[in-house]
Amino acid sequence: MIYLTQLRTQLEKSFSPLACDCTLTGDNSLTVKLYHPVSGQVDLVVSGLSIANLRSPEAVVALIEELRYELESNGLHRPETS
């Protein structure tokens, strides 16, 4: 199983420049929130993820791919322009 701080770091690297909060609930489900660190605007919140499923690096990669798909599908995330 991965530690929440490690997961958060991996998610922030994958979704930069967004920040990430990972919260574990009492029933061992995970909530992931991706948001803009300056404005606080939330781009994605996914709840009810099973922490037990995050036992391998491959499972974390699969989670990142799923979150990326959800983020792109919701239409809120716009790439930053320089």
- Please list the rounded mean pLDDT of every run of 10 residues in the chain (82 residues): 80 91 88 94 93 88 93 67 43
CA-based nearest residue to 21, from 3, 36, 8: 8
* Reported pTM: 0.80
Phi, psi of 33 (to 5 degrees): -125, 125
Domain assignment of residue 9, given as a range: 4-74
Q: Is residue 43 part of a domain?
A: yes
52 found inside a domain? yes
Q: Which two tokens stand for residue 17?
A: 């420049």
Identify the pLDDT of residue 2: 64
pLDDT score at 4: 81
pLDDT for the residue numbered 79: 52
| Total domain count, the chain | 1
| pLDDT at residue 51 in the model | 86
Q: What is the pLDDT of residue 7?
A: 85
- Let me know if residue 32 belongs to a domain: yes
Identify whether 64 is part of a domain.
Answer: yes
Spatial CA neighbour of 45 closest among 81, 11, 78, 79: 11
Output Rg (C-alpha) for the chain, integer angstroms: 12
